[in-house]
Structure 1
């Protein structure tokens, strides 16, 4: 998943050079809304489901649960696999479309 995300962001930032600070700001925002320094259990019961809408939460739980001795939910594996396939197809299509222009953007 990180490979296709990096490829899409690289193509985007190559085309629009001013987007580097914007990507940095978005990454800072994603750091705070993803349960990296806080636990999903700390959310109120009515809002805990909102954490599952964040795709980075799902990827983080796939890494965190085995380290903590738990097993990630099968839904997390399915969502991560679907995101990997769909994102990879999108990234390859984007690269195929714009690969001849990247040299001019640099």
Structure 2
């Protein structure tokens, strides 16, 4: 299995509640550092970006508009009131669990939120 279905299934194994909505796969992460530490944050990724899963990682992280960063490249999100933030994941394909690597990446990005 590959693509969106595989991404949703992989995230589901980590009990992060993945759902497809507004052209995104939405899921919940809890950052361990920064201003959002310990808070459940709904985040998402564009369906088109997970189409090649697990061959290539997504790049844009979609977040509610009230979440900001001191430095970021932003773009529109199909979810009203949300924005997407450009974040590259390093060393893709070397983790034993790519879903765990993606979730850790998103948690780390959220650690830099203001």
TM-score by length of 2: 0.20
Q: Which has more strand, going by share of residues?
A: 2
Q: Which has more helix, going by share of residues?
A: 1
Which structure exhibits the higher relative contact order, with contacts defined as CA atoms closer than 8 Å and separated by 6 or more residues? Answer: 1
Q: Which has the larger radius of gyration?
A: 1
